Amino acid sequence: LDWLNDEVINFYLQLVCQRSMDAKNLPKVYAFNTFFYASISTKGYASVKRWTRKVDIFAYDILLVPIHLSVHWCVAVIDLAERRIDYYDSLLGRNQKCLDLLKNYLIEECKDKKNQIFDFKGWQFNLRTDIPRQMNGSDCGVFLCKFAEFASRRAPIVFTQQHMPYYRRRMLYELVKKKLL
């Protein structure tokens, strides 16, 4: 089945962040750890408050939030510069709870780290359905990584399930080389 585990996903998302730091023309990207969503959704903001004590998430353009739902991976993309949160699920699941949780996280983080009230004026919140759909039970991790990689460049999502074998090989190469192509 070749499922991607949390370590592979964390490492790949760090490569996405590294590319954004190296390229002047790309948005600056921060990726949360794969355990972030599980922790905040079960234990609340207090459980993740210290995770960003050395990071100002508001200094980034895009925040990537990998989401593990027991046996399925999704990703939320918080675009601070374009004022939007997009939820990407390759099975097209609806997860309003995730959007609400991330909105609340931004409010709490802004209050805690900046002593300010986060302003959601003009923000959009989208459960994306205009995205490629997964046609098997094992590619959700690859879809997560590719959704995040495309969103980190603000590129249109133009791949399909048929691209997954190629993306698996490409990702393996990128992980070994520790650099995105």
Q: Decide if 145 is inside a domain.
A: yes
- Per residue in 68-99, pLDDT (tens digit) is 998 999 999 999 999 999 999 999 999 999 99
Quick check: is 119 catalytic? no
What is the reported pLDDT for 95? 95
Quick check: is 74 catalytic? no
- Widest CA span in the chain: 47
Residue 175 pLDDT > 50: yes
Q: Domain range for residue 83? A: 6-177
**Mean pLDDT taken over the chain:** 96
Q: Decide if 120 is inside a domain.
A: yes
Residue 2 pLDDT > 80: no
Tell me the residue ranges of DSSP E strands in the chain: 29-31, 62-69, 72-79, 84-88, 124-127
Quick check: is 72 catalytic? yes
CATH number at residue 163: 3.40.395.10
Q: How many domains is the chain partitioned into structurally?
A: 1
Instruction: With cut-offs at 50, 70 and 90, classify the pLDDT of residue 101.
Output: very high
Cα 153 to Cα 26: distance, rounded to the nearest angstrom: 6
Residue 1 pLDDT > 60: no
Q: Decide if 1 is inside a domain.
A: no
Q: Decide if 105 is inside a domain.
A: yes
Q: Decide if 17 is inside a domain.
A: yes
Residues 6+ apart with CB under 8 A from 162: none
- Per residue in 107-148, pLDDT (tens digit) is 999 999 999 999 999 999 999 999 999 999 999 999 999 999
**Sign of the C-alpha dihedral, residues 151, 157, 160, 163?**
negative
Q: Decide if 130 is inside a domain.
A: yes
Q: Decide if 76 is inside a domain.
A: yes
Q: Locate tokens 């089945």: which residue?
A: 1
Among 79, 86, 89, 139, the one annotated catalytic:
89
Cα 2 to Cα 139: distance, rounded to the nearest angstrom: 8
Among 6, 61, 72, 112, the one annotated catalytic:
72
- Work out whether strand 29-31 and strand 72-79 pair parallel, antiparallel, or are unpaired: unpaired
The two tokens of residue 123 are 């923000």
